[in-house]
Amino acid sequence: MTPILRFSKYISEHTETLATEVVCAVMQKGQLVVSKREEERATHMYYDLFKFLGDSLLNDSDEVIPASLMEWSKKNSEMQLSSHGEISEIIRRYPPTREILNDIVTEMSIEFDLSVQENASIIKWINSMLDVSLNETLLYYKRLSNQLNEDTRKELLELSAPIVPIQDGIVIVPIIGDIDSDRAKHIMENVVPKISELDVTRVIVDFSGTLTINSDIANLFYQFGERLGLMGIHIAVTGIRPEIVQTIIHSGIDLSSVKSYATVKQALGKF
């Protein structure tokens, strides 16, 4: 039996031991504290990696990258993001992992009398797998982070203009926070249709939680009122600050037909 076949056979028969050795060494070298579940997942991944390496050398497999490596990389990203950890905490684990794997393979290459070329080829393969894993981890982390940011943005949009029923036929739409084009668009495309589905005759739009709007957004709110008016819904505004009034005046929007009150309580008493 050739040295490379003996090397491959040994790996295939001792995958669990090798995987455990790598995980323990990486944790010790990097002074890492991880959960038992994470440690078990890492051990399972390295088990699959060593098994994949052994089988590839024995059977000349056509498979390029073990699926478990990609899945493990994605899980690392998910766990890091869910725990609000930095991606740098994962990245810093790769150099000691690379060093430990290369040391283990080199020691085994000497033990099984592999040639320099064979040893270099295996180390090159391992480094390539780690590069693939790191790249997948970074890409997936970014993808998840972008998705989380988008989900958070949508939640904030929902919270920025909730529809609050207070009496039969009356709802309040409190505008919370500064209004930008995204929020204005959300109100036109989501809030108006929802109001139209309700049995509503009057809407009070409260601006007391808003500090500033620009003329373009003021115009959107004018359209908001007009669209509700076409549905037979009366609209009143409350809590408009002087600076917002100035913005509306300078934008040339005529709000003379819109009832305006200082507070929601006042509007409920007169509207």
Q: Show the domains of the chain with their CATH numbers.
A: 3-156 (1.10.490.70), 161-270 (3.30.750.24)
Q: Residue 143 forms beta bridges with which residues? A: none
- Alpha carbon distances (Å) from 120 to 50, 97, 127: 16, 17, 10
Least confident of 31-35, 37-41, 87-91, 168-172: 31-35
Residues 179 and 167: beta-carbon distance below 8 Å: no
- For the chain, what is the largest distance between any 2 Cα atoms, rounded to a whole number of angstroms? 97
**Encoded amino acid at 51, one letter:** K
Name the pTM for this structure.
0.58
Spatial CB neighbours of 26, under 8 Å, sequence gap ≥ 6: 32, 42, 93, 96, 97, 100
Q: Supply the pLDDT for residue 160.
A: 64
Q: Supply the pLDDT for residue 254.
A: 67
d(CA 126, CA 23): 15
- Alpha carbon distances (Å) from 222 to 69, 92, 105, 190, 210: 55, 54, 71, 16, 16
Torsion sign across C-alpha atoms 98, 101, 107, 110: negative
**Encoded amino acid at 33, one letter:** V
In the predicted model, what is the mean pLDDT of residues 18-26?
A: 89
| Rg over CA atoms, the chain | 31
Spatial CB neighbours of 95, under 8 Å, sequence gap ≥ 6: none
> What six digits make up the tokens of 203?
């809407």
For residue range 190-223, what is the model confidence (pLDDT) as tens digits? 888 888 888 889 999 888 887 777 776 677 777 7
> Look-up: residue for tokens 């930095």?
86
- Bridge-based pairing of strands 234-238 and 259-261 is parallel
Q: Using the 8-state DSSP alphabet, how is residue 209 labeled?
A: E
186 pLDDT tier (thresholds 50, 70, 90): confident
159 pLDDT tier (thresholds 50, 70, 90): low
Q: Is the pLDDT of residue 172 over 80?
A: yes
d(CA 213, CA 226): 18
Residues 132 and 64: beta-carbon distance below 8 Å: no
